[in-house]
Amino acid sequence: MSTMGKIATDDQLEHAGIERLYGFCKSVLISVGADEPTAAAATDAMLHGSRLGVDSHGVRLLPHYVQAFAGGRLNCRPKMRLARQIGVVANLDADHAHGARAAYHAMDHAVEIAQSHGLAAVSIRNSSHFGPAGAYALHAARQGLIGLAFCNSDSFVRLHDGASRFHGTNPIAMCVPAKGQKPWLLDMATSSITYNRIQLHRSLNAPLAENVASTETGMDTTDPDLATMLAPLGGIFGFKGAGLAGMVEIFSAVLSGSRLSHEILPMGGPDFSTPRNVGAFVMAMRPDAFLEQEEFDAAMHRYIEGLRSSPVRDGAKLFAPGDREWAEEAYREEHGVPIDPATEKAFRRLAAEYELPLPFQTEVME
């Protein structure tokens, strides 16, 4: 069993400015062979995670994506096409593109159709890991529409009272425009935590919370080095999280013709040459297709402000979904993105391999 030591604090980590970090990640992906739209989409998604404090799905994914492109799992120059379209519903064949490239493309198509018809939904097949689901929901909200995004993944999560992996982390994301302020943003896994968070805790030498992860036999553990699968969301009511994961599975895999979570090759390899056919699903809706825009804006304002001003328990504070993330974004835009030790080491290796300048603030000051 590993011994949990002192957790690295934020001021002990390397930091990178947003602009330099974006340039570094995109340059690495282009250097490994990705075309410009793919490199831009993957970098946009990673920076969404790192800007908003979703570090498990931020730039720490860069070395993994490099390995997947280099090995052939991901298509560096995909030719995506609509395999099927009936009215406001479509199925996108992503041609084994990076998941972010496919998801942004699908959401762009959904937004375009929804602008004319009120709403649209696109399922995605032959895709791969797409990072933070909230990035694609936010992509719709920035254009004035409500956005939803789902994705399945290889099995990491046991069923409630189960002792083997079955569902993926199967995230749910929804983003709603809010006039005069940042959007309402929900981005959550249907597991207790994400597996990338376990890897982040390993890098930071930090213990896990109680009842979020299990050993190979299904026993709970707080040691990230012993954690091999995740618990479903809900703790002792984990059947609720397992049910939500199943909902995402149906939207993402069944409706797209993709592999089910327990059929997908492991994200972490060892096979990095075979495409995984991960599924996803996005939807866009025009609020003013349902009611007058002014009425929608006023109702969202009443809801969000009512939520924030609701009475709280002693010592607590209420946040609307997204409030923490927007605050973290503002902080990181000023102070930079903290880079965990494992990611720092990988960045130094990639910078040397592709002869690129490091994005760290200490490198800029020297």
49-98 tens-digit pLDDT? 999 999 989 999 999 999 999 999 999 999 999 999 999 999 999 999 99
**286 within domain boundaries:** yes
> Domain tally for the chain?
2
Q: Residue 166 is encoded by which pair of tokens?
A: 């079955």
**Mean model confidence pLDDT for the chain:** 94
**241 within domain boundaries:** yes
Please tell me the total number of residues recorded for the chain in this structure. 366
Which of 225, 190, 180 shows the shortest CA–CA distance to 207? Answer: 225
Same domain, 361 and 270: no
Residue 242 CB partners (closer than 8 Å, separation 6+): 157, 159, 160, 167, 190, 232, 234
CA angle 164, 55, 325 (to 5 degrees): 115
Task: Specify the pLDDT at position 197.
Answer: 85
**216 within domain boundaries:** no
Q: How many CA atoms does the CB half-sphere of 337 hold within 13 Å?
A: 28
When pLDDT is cut at 50, 70 and 90, the band that residue 9 belongs to is: low
Same domain, 82 and 33: no
Average pLDDT estimate for 25-41: 98
Same domain, 135 and 260: yes
**115 within domain boundaries:** yes
**60 within domain boundaries:** yes
Range of the domain at 50: 14-71+338-366
**3 within domain boundaries:** no
Average pLDDT estimate for 336-340: 95
List the CATH number of the domain containing 145.
Answer: 3.30.1370.60
Q: What is the pLDDT of residues 181-190, one digit of tens each?
A: 999 999 999 9
Q: Are 355 and 342 in contact (CB under 8 A)?
A: no
Characterize the bridge pairing of strands 278-285 and 119-127.
antiparallel
Q: What percent of the chain has pLDDT over 90?
A: 88
Same domain, 360 and 284: no
**140 within domain boundaries:** yes
**331 within domain boundaries:** no
Same domain, 301 and 185: yes
Same domain, 115 and 238: yes
Residue 2 pLDDT > 80: no
Q: What is the pLDDT of residues 189-213, one digit of tens each?
A: 999 998 878 988 998 899 999 989 9
Residue 326 pLDDT > 50: yes
Please report, in angstroms and rounded to a whole number, the separation of the first and last CA atoms in the chain. Answer: 40
Same domain, 181 and 243: yes
Same domain, 36 and 98: no
Residue 3 pLDDT > 60: no
List the CATH number of the domain containing 349.
Answer: 1.10.1530.10
Q: What CA–CA distance (Å, rounded) separates 62 from 77? A: 18
When pLDDT is cut at 50, 70 and 90, the band that residue 7 belongs to is: very low
Same domain, 135 and 242: yes
Same domain, 342 and 288: no
Same domain, 187 and 286: yes
Same domain, 152 and 21: no
Task: Specify the pLDDT at position 365.
Answer: 52
Q: What CA–CA distance (Å, rounded) separates 233 from 92? A: 29
Secondary structure of the chain in HEC code, one letter for each residue: CCCCCCCCCHHHCEEECHHHHHHHHHHHHHHCCCCHHHHHHHHHHHHHHHHCCCHHHCHHHHHHHHHHHHHCCCCCCCCCEEEEEECCEEEEECCCCCHHHHHHHHHHHHHHHHHHHCEEEEEEEEECCCCCCHHHHHHHHCCCCEEEEEECCCCCEECCCCCCEEECCCCEEEEEEECCEEEEEEEECCECCCHHHHHHHHHHCCCCCCCCEECCCCCECCCCCCCCEECECCHHHHHHHHHHHHHHHHHHHHCCCCCCHHHCCCCCCCCCCCCCCEEEEEEEECHHHCCCHHHHHHHHHHHHHHHHCCCCCCCCCCCCCCHHHHHHHHHHHHHCEEECHHHHHHHHHHHHHHCCCCCEHHHHHC
CA 128 to chain CA mean position, Å: 12
Q: What CA–CA distance (Å, rounded) separates 173 from 282? A: 9
Q: Residue 197 is encoded by which pair of tokens?
A: 């968070």
Which of 125, 151, 152 shows the shortest CA–CA distance to 256? Answer: 125
